[in-house]
A and B are shown apart, each in its own frame.
Chain A
């Protein structure tokens, strides 16, 4: 990635023009293979434009501290002592910017403030640090051994334990339900990671498999795990009846609204009493109620669009809306790391799909030039519509979309912009309004704002917000509206009340406090992890903080060690991430106290030493 410089304060949105690095980046279509791309150290990927980058002699290293102090507009509570020696860290700037985030400033004023004008993605961006060579080699070796060993077990098993492998063979005229090849990864790698540590289960320790851990109660600041054991190398589990309480760094409870007490729960209880728990019909038939209308109005108001609809499931919000907006003859341009629901919807739509490099606006620009000038494949007719679909905050990377540049491109090329704010709504921006709020860009620059209620609002379902024309059309054509159940009253009420609190409509400062607490927590946590020498992804301000563990063997080790110390996290490996960058993911919440974070950091540091995870060269350089 190149750092794009654009310090001219006069530029209107202070958008770093995506053609900033002209000349270099704006070459024609890249040649399929050229020596210079190899020389520059970039392997070509399957997308036609990705090798067209200007060769960069110094790629993927740590970003230098922000150039100006006004760039961060995160508000930090003054009464919380900052843990950094002033002046030594990039965050020392943060203290200065409290002057920018006065509570008395109105939304419009803030949007037009100097701070908003000068906010740029480049200053929030944390460069993805390259993997050290020996880690890379050892990880690949690690996988090689696992795969060889897996095949060895398969070969021997198929000879000596025919019965256990029966499901992989054609039997009785039925083809196997899962093919041998497809399930190899699941059987030989996933299952091993999920495998219960033998010693642990003998000592009746907390169950130590790493995924699908069952819980009970509310997944809020802490989470109660149901202990389980496995006697058959975790093909099956049995619950032991005991529970373990652990600090929760896994749930997407960004603003801490997963609660069984408090204002939301009270309102929901009242709603269940009066309205029941179900609406028993699709919205288009007889399942729509005044509560839904009220909710939709509130959501539209909250995200800053004229109208909105709500759908009973977050996944379905994407998968049933995208096919109604685009069809054959249209083009969807999608970020390579977009969520499965977007891919699902895009495939259903029948539109052509092209992919650009993650959050890389140069790649997008080149692709746009190519597709618009070339038109549809074979016929070369112009595309009917082009829709660019991105996420606000990527849950696996913690990266925040470069919206200013995208908006600039949208103006230049005239495509439609669809932003999935599943993770960013509530979690980003000074009033929790998502990426638009975060960058101070008017939501009118984005055609479709989509988001879910599962995360920040502690509810379920999703919304689409857009102009009234689009929403009216979706009310008629969205699959969920015609065929699926509508949002149930208790869930609708939870969303309504939590939005009321976030917006401060209830007259309290509660929502603002939560937003600030979340911003504090995420910046603090990520900065401390970086300081310790871990390789940490995620842009500044992201409440999702991935910490790279690389080797497959370290995935379960890290997760189990943390669970023993009563810290619950998610670990993610291939295929959810590239094979090399397996990671542990921390989701910071407003309900975490500084004490929780420090407790976790202390133990993470300890385990990081044991597992040799502190491999960041950037951090070491900084220390020197």
Chain B
């Protein structure tokens, strides 16, 4: 019995298993595409059974992982302890005595800003050599009238970004006025001069693009360069040969590594806010064309003062403005309004209307300020003679300060007598500072130098002249320029007054520098 039964049982079981496997197989075969997998499995089993085992194991593990419960630590005591242990630094550090001095010595103007403003702490009005009120538009009655009539039609604020009903007709007029004045196709206006270039640069130059930047550019440009996250190469301040060297290096490098062509820009400043010198535009334009770069030019300081018409660097060097791809300027300097602009071709301006973050995400400038800027442009265009007057004032300031007795004491930036720049920096000569080293010092600290200059500023104010040290956010500048006193010329003061003011500055320097560290 046993013998006859056994094969029967086995056969039965096999049949059962076979039929089950078959029906499952048929079911699987019903799924479209499953035959590919089956064939694959069959073949791979024959070729490499070990791999099938491994794959099955992986599938099993993946399913187990997905179905597993999330890991939750039962008690947070460790985390809580860490949280409790953590003590942040104070939000701001305590102010040093130098900081306190800076705060206290910042002048506060009482009443209107003008060529002879009243300043808190002084009974008499001071002669103002500290503001960009170059052609005295601050006191222009014409602009005031225009501003008031605009106020009565448009109110003050625009209550919206340009995209959402913040584009007022006077904005469009101002854009046209500036474009016509500079000779470019179009122009776009921003609500603050400082924020303009730091928004224009990242609108065009993205990660992977290349910026070749002058080392002496102002803070706003530095921030624009930083936020663009592009590759940056710096060239020596106003050194054309160094610029060419950098461009040549990049060209060779591109050839060697066969790099993809990316957007490339040269970034520089027209009239350098930190040094008072002027970029050699015609040579830069030559290089830019030769190496096929686009040129971004910050003319915040030069618009309205440089060139015969006051149209900035392109006017001064007689360069066709369309050869400079982007001219960025400020309406808060010469034009005595507020805001900034970028002028260029249609393509460049149109792109910014969607990509310039300070344009898109900020309210447009108040209508009255736009109109003031338009009016200021008109005044400059109608009376270009004030620009000659301005350069005369500056020359008399230079003449006074370049006196022989001053030579061992100070450096003047920039020193050329015929420079059209309407302001200059006075910096203590390093040879003078070295003479007065104390004890073990290797060099005079920045703070001491600033204090020295502040003493000059105080002395000037005491004698009736308002000047100011150039202010920087020292720890955030790339290479902070040496401390300086910034002197601005203005046509608001007569020639005589300007000469008098300059000689006060001169006398103050001699007096303060003479006394310094003798005690």
B366 contacts which chain A residues (CB < 8 A)? 459-460, 490-491
**Interface window among A66-74, A196-204, A286-294, A600-608:** A286-294
Q: Is the CB of A31 within 8 A of B70?
A: yes
- Tally of contact residues, A, Cβ under 8 A: 130
Minimum CB–CB distance from B85 to chain A (whole Å) comes to 8
Indicate whether A501 reaches chain B with its CB closer than 8 angstroms. no
A286–B109 CB distance below 8 A: yes
Q: B79 — which chain A residues lie within 8 A by C-beta? A: 369, 372-373
Q: Please indicate the chain A residues that have their CB under 8 angstroms from the CB of B103 in the complex.
A: 472, 475-476
Residues of A within 8 A of B333 (CB): 280
A610 to B421 CA separation, bound complex (whole angstroms): 64
Interface code B205-239, partner A: CB below 8 Å = 1, 0 otherwise? 00001000000001110010011000000000000
Whole-angstrom distance between the alpha carbons of A276 and B144 in the complex? 6
Known pairs A215-B165, A414-B86, A483-B219; A31 contacts B71 (CB<8 A): yes
Known: A253-B159, A384-B89. A289 touches B193 (CB 8 A): no
Interface SS of chain A: mixed
Q: Residue A301 at the B interface, CB < 8 A?
A: no
Q: Which residue of B lies closest to A270 (CB)?
A: B148
Contact A274 B111 (CB under 8 A): yes
Interface string of B368-379 (1 = CB under 8 A from A): 110010000000
Chain B residue nearest to A575 in the complex (CB): B354
Cβ B165 vs Cβ A482 within 8 A? no
Cβ contact within 8 Å between B168 and A215: yes
Q: Tell yes or no: A473 within 8 A of B by CB.
A: yes
Contacts of B94 in A (CB 8 A): 469
Q: Which residues of A contact B156 (CB under 8 A)?
A: 258, 264-265, 268, 458-460, 490-491, 494
A263 to B469, CA, bound (A): 39
Q: How far is the CB of A618 from chain B (nearest CB, A)?
A: 29
Instruction: Indicate whether B323 reaches chain A with its CB closer than 8 angstroms.
Output: no
Find the residue from B153, B337, B338 having the highest chain A CB count within 10 A.
B338
Interface size class on chain B is 35 or more
Once A290-B108, A490-B368 are accepted as A-B contacts, the answer to whether A218 and B195 lie under 8 Å apart by CB is no
**Contact residues in B for A324 (Cβ distance below 8 Å):** 473, 476
Contact of A289 among B109, B133, B351, B354 (CB under 8 A): B109
Beta-carbon contact of B153 and A483 below 8 Å: no
Within 8 A of A (CB), among B255-307: 261-264, 292, 294
A277 / chain B contacts, CB cutoff of 8 Å: 143-144, 147, 336-337, 368-369, 372
Interface residues of A in 4-57 (CB under 8 A from B): 26-28, 30-31, 33-36
> A313: nearest residue on chain B (CB-CB)?
B192
User: How many A-B Cβ pairs are below 8 Å?
Assistant: 371
A374's nearest neighbour on chain B, judged by CB, is B82
| Shortest beta-carbon distance from A276 to chain B in Å | 5
Does A325 have its Cβ within 8 Å of any Cβ on chain B? yes
Whether, in the assembled complex, B66 has its beta carbon less than 8 Å from a beta carbon of chain A, the answer is yes
A261–B155 alpha-carbon span in the complex (Å): 8
A325 near B91: Cβ-Cβ < 8 Å: yes
Q: Is the CB of B362 within 8 A of A384?
A: no
- Given known pairs A27-B70, A273-B144, A494-B157, the reply for A485 and B473 (CB within 8 Å) is no
Q: Per-position contact with B for A226-239: 1 when CB-CB < 8 Å, else 0?
A: 10000000000000
Whether the Cβ atoms of B362 and A30 lie closer than 8 Å is no
Are A348 and B227 neighbours in the complex by a CB distance under 8 Å?
yes
Asked if residues A219 and B158 are in contact (CB atoms below 8 Å), the reply is: yes
In the complex, whether B327 has a CB less than 8 A from a CB of chain A is no
Q: Known contacts A286-B131, A313-B362, A347-B227; decide if A260 and B194 are in contact (CB<8 Å).
A: no
Whether a CB of chain B sits under 8 angstroms from the CB of A172 is yes
Q: In angstroms, how far is the closest chain B Cβ from the Cβ of A285?
A: 4
Contacting pair A473 B95 (CB below 8 A): yes
Instruction: Please state if B128 and A286 are interface contacts (CB–CB under 8 Å).
Output: yes
Q: Do the beta carbons of B113 and A278 come within 8 Å of each other?
A: yes
Residues of chain B in range 416-463 having any CB-CB distance to chain A below 8 Å: none
Q: Does A281 contact B132, Cβ atoms closer than 8 Å?
A: yes
Cβ of B468 and Cβ of A285 under 8 Å apart? yes
B5 within 8 A of A: no
Residues in B with CB closer than 8 Å to A100 are none
Interface residues of A (CB under 8 A from B): 26-28, 30-31, 33-36, 167, 170, 172-178, 186, 190, 211-220, 223, 225-226, 248, 250-253, 257-261, 264-265, 268-269, 272-290, 293, 312-316, 319-320, 323-325, 339-341, 344, 347-348, 368-369, 372-373, 382-387, 412-416, 447-448, 452-455, 457-460, 469-470, 472-480, 482-485, 488-491, 494, 568, 570
In addition to A172-B292, A472-B95, 20 A-B residue pairs with Cβ atoms within 8 Å of each other are: A31-B70, A173-B292, A174-B292, A219-B160, A272-B147, A275-B113, A276-B143, A277-B147, A285-B131, A315-B362, A316-B194, A320-B194, A324-B473, A340-B360, A387-B91, A453-B157, A454-B158, A460-B366, A483-B219, A491-B369
8 nearest CB pairs, A to B: A484-B194, A485-B332, A313-B192, A315-B362, A286-B130, A173-B292, A454-B363, A473-B92
